[in-house]
Structure 1
Amino acid sequence: MPEVLGPTIRSFQVLPDIPEPLQPLVELAHNLWWVWQPDAAELFRRLDRKLWDQVYHNPVKLLGALSQESLGAAARDEGYIAHLRRVYEAFRKHMDGPGWFQETHPEDNKLLIAYFSAEFGLHESLPIYSGGLGILAGDHLKSASELGLPLNGVGLLYRNGYFQQYLSADGWQQEAYPELDFYNLAVEPMRYTDGTQVQVRVDLPDNAVFCRVWRANVGRIPLYLLDTNLPENSPADRDITSRLYGGGTEMRIKQEIVLGIGGLRALEALNITPSVYHMNEGHSAFLALERIRVLLERNSNLTFDETRQQVMSSNIFTTHTPVPAGIDTFHPDLMVKYFKNFIPSLKLDEEGFLALGREDVSNKKQGFSMAVLALRLADHYNGVSALHGEVSRKMWHNLWPAVPTAEVPIQSVTNGVHVRTWLSPDIQYTLDRYLGDAWTQDPTNQKVWEAVSQIPDEELWRAHERSRERMVSWTRQTLREQLVRRGVVYEDVSIADEVLDPEALTIGFARRFATYKRGALLLRDPNRLRRLLEDSKRPIQFIFAGKAHPADNEGKELIKTIVNFARDPAVRRRFVFVENYDMNVARYLVQGVDVWLNTPRRPYEASGTSGMKAACNGVLNCSVLDGWWVEGYAPDVGWAIGHGEMYPDSGYQDHVESQALYDILEKEIIPLFYRRGVDNFPREWIARMKACMRKLAPVFNTNRMVREYAEKFYVPALHRSLTLGENNMARAIALAHAKDSMRHRWGGVKVVGVHTSGNGHYKVGDTMQVEALIDLPEIDPKDVHVQLYCGPINATGEIEKPQVMDLSYGKVMGPARHLFTGQIDCRSSGRQGFALRVVPGTPDMATMFEPGLITWN
């Protein structure tokens, strides 16, 4: 029987026929600048409001779906054309005007940042994000555009994005993975001058994988996204970029190879040469290995350590994870499988390679940690809140074992949010009216935000009430659609039209349903909660949303518990769960609720940006003192659940903090909200809203955050890299050799003796003289620092809030023996103490702890 052949399908693309007067719409639709410009969003909405919702606010798809009659009518509408002209002029002003960076750092014109992230949350129409990590990355790009920061984003373009959530009849989370049509998204394939698409290659154990490169525009910032769904690849390899965080460990290592190594090769294919590389979490850390490989390929006379020294100088690593279990760690055999052919190009053997990712280099059974790799191949690292910085220093202390925890060189840059993305249209209009455009030009200016105090109470409250009413209306419609999809009988569907009261105190909880976030803490005492919900005189209502990872059954159980409670006929009008949490859902909630609830188990919330989004809208936070709330909390801007305690018994902690939450609701939040005058305005509540916006919005925003990254990391990394790279990397090579030499000679360093003046008892204002005898065989005294580490001693005998002071060189006391002298000024009373240490002082080191050498007395 002859072979039956299937049809040969030839693809072609159909573009919308846009009338000439509307041509600027095409450029606007393909630049995500519009997502933080309400006037630009309204421009698309005006074309067809119903269709705008049907295409889920995707302007590219909208333009392709509109009839020629509708487009022609808009082209003839003088009012619409005037609106388009106004928006396009604002767009060009943003694209062409100077930014903060050009005005404040004109001499740093060699800076070009490559910002790598496994996910980017820019808008619901481009669903290549899962949660806070991706949305932070998206907000980072938006603020970089506003600040004029020279930055390129690099990520993956997932064919199925993150999953769409829906619930079964019994409340169990189900996942759907609809396929994205890239040609109807705000992304475009990159092409060479001959029109062919840009592709790069990465090597897996048995074959090569080809990656197509796409570009999304975020204002002035290009975001390059890699896609392996190409005919040249096998079905398994085409699936590498199918799902965000999908598949098992082997899929993750493939995705991270494509992101880190493929992403770097994509930039090279596009002739983009960054000067600084920022790894947003450890997913992209393989880029550091690829940078070393490329440099060794171009300079075959260099060693791994010499090249590593140069590469580290311009690598920045941001960790978002407060527990080691949250870090991607690969089995050594899996690493060897995927990097066996790559390792020789680094001039390393297998053990030397695997040691780069081991916390304990001597433990050959230990897994290969992406965070450890990033920490070992970067000179600059940070956590994402002050508390998370402390947690990270403790978590990674083993990489700097002799260094006091407080001095582990992991800094912190507290996260923020892109204010204009998350503000409700009504609040934006109110701010424009009373603050002018200054708050949009520089949202970090606290003096500008002080003018929030001048907004009339009535006007701010009505703006907020309109946001709440809009949220309630949207929630009802969304719940109705959910129930219809679930096949619920008509009588139950109609209840969706009655849920939530647009005037009642509304509390929101929406985030990933990871177990440490304790999404069901509020339900720990259901009878007490029911009494609150059934109070008709002072009504209170709750709206929940969030997704659990597909493999997280504990998180799914939490969702099921909440959903089943919400189905109780006695409370279902005041307690709802909205499916499929995404950026669209988040906007409605952070803009429309009155209180934002956050109940993580301290200290597992690295930052927690959803509360910042709410605060910008004047929504008051009620949260455990974890993440950003440790820095943001004050009695006039919200409520703290507990006082920052941490309990060894998690069950007891849940009990204590749930009871504290009920107390706050009953005794503080509800009475304050319903304390009204004859005009029915909650004046005290409004005062707190104003304080919240005034104090938190200018601090917890990504414009402040990105400026901090620029000044603390990007610019210093540029300068350090340029310095070490001078004269064919002469200083990087010298530093690598100096560190290696110091390591070989350090074993002889010894504190022989320490002598102090006095008898051990001093008065405030006295000075204690200190002399130290140090043996430094084969080491020049100029190449070390002899330091006093001093401060108050706590009950466990440890030095708290230490001060570090260098001793001065005195004289030679014998063969290889040297005297160092200094003093301690007694400025405060109480039990004080000091220790003495010797650390390397080699020039050009990023920190004195870089070689990992330290000798204590």
Structure 2
Amino acid sequence: MKMLITEEHTNGSKIAYFSMEIGLRDEIPTFSGGLGILAGDTIKSGADLNLPLVAVTLIYHKGYFKQDIDDQGRQIELPAQWEPSEIMHTVPEKTTVIIEGRTVYIQAWVYFVKSPKGGEVPVLFLDTNLQENSEEDRSLTDYLYGGDDNYRIKQEVVLGIGGVKILKILGFQIKKYHMNEGHAAFLTLELLHQLKNNLNDVWDESYIWDFEAVKELCVFTTHTPVEAGHDKFSYDLYRNVIGDYFPENVIHDLAGNDHLNMTLLALNLSNDVNGVAKKHGEVSQNMFPGYKINSITNGVHSYTWTCDSFKKLFDKHIPGWANEPELFVRTDLIPPDEIWNAHSEAKKILIDYVNSTNNLKMDHETLTIGFARRFATYKRASLLFNDIERLEGIASGKIQVIFAGKAHPKDEGGKKLIEDIFAYSENLKGKIKIAFVNNYNMETAMKIVSGVDVWLNNPIRPLEASGTSGMKAAHNGVLNFSVLDGWWIEGHIEGDTGWSIGPESTETVPDDNANKIDTDDLYNKLEQIIIPTFYQNRDKWVKMMKSAIGKNAYFFNTHRMMLRYVTEAYI
């Protein structure tokens, strides 16, 4: 049945959630990694909690990219072609934005995220691939994070300005606009325009823009402590693309004098600003002194990221867990053998899948370590191999390692890391089995986060904003072995919910000596604690698995996160 946006969907005040990427399912490849999956999990919890939410993103006809890897570990990027009409439908209404002096038409596809609890959230996917537009403008919604700054700023005009306009045309009454990262910050300029137009004011040099009214409408979540992650555009580019849409002298005051900084624009026009973990809030405050930046620690959607064997286990012992994740505190009541059997079932699914893709012949009994995430250099995917000779002495025949992840097509350093993993796999053949799972997506992520025994995460401190993959692992009783950064500072209890790598996080900028310190600690704990516990003290291991669920999954979920947004930012 074709679902349309009806008066029932637009009735009452809504929260408009804007995100450059949203990850709901693999068949809708409009996400690249953690930011998009978080957005999808946020929307799913919004539906479960029956929150008055509507979401806005872009359609990306060719997705992010489909990853292929050759025999040397070189990443090959292929278009992730898909057909939106098989999954969603368009709304008849259209809006326009002006780009480089041209009128660009925008239409929205709509997909409804429905909860078994009865809630429903419409997600609008904006599309410029329309007959009315030029070939150049039709391609603006082809690729996620594709092209150059010129392509990116045009996409952000479509998302921010076009998104606000399409919501108004469709009849949504918006109480708050939540910007998930700075990509959508142009929405603030459209809100300023609409306030002016409502007053029928003429724009001249004497006009006083109502910044305070827009600030009351806007919530901003910043996700990156990495300077390069904050979008900045030259004012020459701004003038060329946006023209006289908004006075440049005012933009300088809001977004910076040297470059148009989208994060600054969002900061200056939002009353509620937050980082995504306590530590990240501190780091963001250090990056942008003078602004009040709170923190609301991320979570994951519990039902989505719990594997089938643990779903059955939780249904049996903790009924209601999916919509009340706080009930995970009762995990300790589950018999240890049932915990281990559920994990063994998930591990078998993963190992059998990995073995079907290569000839490594991984086995079901060996301690299996997982590392799967975006391949950016600061995440240090190859830290485990910093001292090959020592690693061999510690772990030959005792561990096997599974990697997965995509490097951005323009990130040569990230691509080189994938090649390095392949080289280490070859060098350690016969000693440590190392697999790389191709084309990391939600389906493979579910297999890996639930099927490994240990989840490894070792970014350079303090560059991990949150790190939601470790939360997914915890939902499946998988133990985290991570540097103390992002969420793990809050979730870590040494020897209880997992283990730390390196010292406590006191930095607000990276430490050049971190590699050696962290490598030594990683090897020491692997040799002296993790490997012996796994093979010689199963009772201790299962007790820790229970702690990971009962103390981490209990808290680090998007139900808890969304309730905090409601009480601290939306109301």
Q: CA shift at 1:572, angstroms?
A: 7.7
* Counterpart among 345, 363, 374 of residue 466 in structure 1: 345
Match of residue 262 from structure 1:
162
**What is the letter of the counterpart of residue 187 of structure 1?**
M
C-alpha displacement of 1:470: 0.4
CA contact (8 A) 1:296 1:304 kept: no
Distance in 2 separating the partners of 1:304 and 1:260: 23
Q: Matches of 2:296 and 2:510 in 1, distance apart?
A: 31
Task: Give the SS at the match of 2:223.
Answer: coil
Question: Which of 288, 296, 310 is equivalent to 1:413?
Answer: 296
Paired AA for residue 520 in structure 2: Q
Which of 632, 636, 656 pairs up with 2:517?
A: 656
Q: CA deviation at 1:646?
A: 6.2
Using the alignment, how far apart are the partners of 1:599 and 1:272 within structure 2?
A: 43
Is the Cα–Cα contact under 8 Å of residues 530 and 571 in structure 1 kept in the other structure?
no
The corresponding residue for 1:772 is none
Contact residue 110 and residue 275 of structure 1 kept, 8 A = no
Question: Aligned to 2:513, what secondary structure does the other structure show?
Answer: helix
- In the alignment, residue 637 of structure 1 is paired with which amino acid? T
1:379 aligns with 2:271: yes
CA RMSD between the two structures? 1.9
Assess, with a 3 A threshold, how the Cα gap between structure 1 residues 311 and 216 changes in structure 2: closer, same or farther: same
1:324 is displaced (CA, Å) by 2.5
The structure 1 segments of at least 4 consecutive aligned residues displaced by more than 6 Å after TM superposition are: 646-649
Aligned counterpart, 1:507: 369
Instruction: Please tell me whether the aligned partners of residues 129 and 141 of structure 2 are also in contact (alpha carbons under 8 angstroms).
Output: yes
| Separation (CA, whole Å) in 2 of partners of 1:355 and 1:425 | 52
CA distance in 1, matches of 2:225, 2:252: 23
Q: Partner amino acid for 2:184? A: S
Structure 2 distance, partners of 1:507, 1:142, is 29
Structure 1 gap ranges (5+)? 1-25, 32-95, 97-108, 191-196, 344-348, 359-363, 401-407, 481-494, 677-681, 716-857
Residues in 2 aligned to 1:711 and 1:571: alpha-carbon distance in whole angstroms: 55
Taking the aligned partners of 1:115 and 1:304, their CA distance within structure 2 comes to: 30
The one-letter code matched in structure 2 to 1:203 is I
Tell me if 1:710 matches 2:552.
no
Per the alignment, residue 310 of structure 2 pairs with 427
Query: Does the Cα contact within 8 Å between 1:141 and 1:153 map onto a contact in 2?
Result: yes
Residues 1:591 and 2:450 aligned together: yes
Q: State the distance in 1 between where 2:297 and 2:64 align.
A: 26
> Which residue in the other structure is 2:64 paired with?
162
- 1:391–1:649: structure 2 CA closer, same or farther, 3 Å change rule? closer
CA contact (8 A) 2:461 2:510 kept: no
Contact 1:533–1:571 (CA<8 Å) still a contact in 2?
A: no
Shift of 1:649: 8.2
Note closer, same or farther for the CA distance 1:265–1:674 as it changes in structure 2 (3 Å cut): same
Give the equivalent residue in structure 2 for 1:526. Answer: 388
Alignment partner, residue 331 of structure 2: 452
Q: Offset at 1:304?
A: 5.5
CA distance in 2, matches of 1:330, 1:547: 26
User: Equivalent of 1:351, from 249, 253, 263?
Assistant: 249
What is the CA distance between 1:650 and its match in structure 2? Answer: 5.3
Contact 1:383 1:414 in 2 (8 A): yes
SS class of match (2:304): helix
**In the alignment, what sits opposite 1:574?**
433
Q: Distance in 2 between matches of 1:706 and 1:528?
A: 45
Instruction: Specify the alignment match of 2:493 in structure 1.
Output: 634
Q: Secondary structure at the match of 1:274?
A: strand
Q: Report SS of the residue matched to 1:654.
A: helix
**Tell me, what secondary structure is at the counterpart of 2:528?**
helix
Please report how far the alpha carbon of residue 683 of structure 1 lies from its aligned counterpart in structure 2 after TM superposition. Answer: 0.8
Map of 1:155-554 to 2, 5 A cutoff?
155-184=57-86, 186-190=87-91, 197-219=92-114, 220-301=120-201, 305=208, 307-343=210-246, 349-358=247-256, 364=257, 366-397=258-289, 400=290, 408-436=291-319, 438-443=320-325, 445=326, 448-477=327-356, 479-480=357-358, 495-496=359-360, 498=361, 500-535=362-397, 539-554=398-413
Structure 1 residues 675 and 198: alpha-carbon distance in aligned structure 2, compared to 1, 3 A threshold:
same
What TM-score does the superposition give when structure 2 sets the normalisation length? 0.94
Counterpart of 1:691 (choices 515, 527, 547) is 547
| Contact 1:279/1:315 (8 A) holds in 2 | yes
Question: In the alignment, residue 714 of structure 1 is paired with which amino acid?
Answer: Y
- Going from structure 1 to structure 2, the CA distance change for 1:419 and 1:571 (only over 3 Å counts) comes to farther
Give the 3-state SS of the residue equivalent to 2:482 in structure 1.
strand
- How far apart are residue 533 of structure 1 and its match? 4.2
Query: Residue 453 of structure 1 contacts residue 690 of structure 1 at CA under 8 Å; is this kept in 2?
Result: yes
Amino acid at match of 1:351: N
| 2:528 is equivalent to residue 667 of structure 1 | yes
Post-superposition offset of 1:573:
6.6
- Write the deviation string for residues 460-501 of structure 1: whole angstroms up to 9, x where unpaired: 101100000000111122x24xxxxxxxxxxxxxx25x2x11
User: Among residues 21, 27, 30, which one is paired with 1:128 in the alignment?
Assistant: 30
Report the AA paired with residue 272 of structure 2: H
CA contact (8 A) 2:188 2:266 kept: yes
CA distance in 2, matches of 1:419, 1:572: 36
Q: Is the 8 A contact 2:463 2:510 kept in 1?
A: no
**Residue type of the alignment partner of 2:518:** E
- Structure with bigger gyration radius: 1
Query: What stretches of structure 2 of length at least 5 have no aligned partner?
Result: 115-119
- 8 Å contact from structure 1 (residues 327, 369) kept in 2: yes
The structure whose RCO (Cα within 8 Å, separation 6+) is larger is: 2
Identical aligned residues as a percent? 42
Tell me by how many angstroms 1:117 deviates.
0.2
| Equivalent pairs, count | 556
How far 1:642 sits from its partner (Å)? 1.5
Q: Name the amino acid aligned to 2:322.
A: T
- The CA deviation at 1:231 is 1.9
Q: Within 1, Cα distance between the matches of 2:163 and 2:252?
A: 22
Q: Give 1:652 shift.
A: 3.0
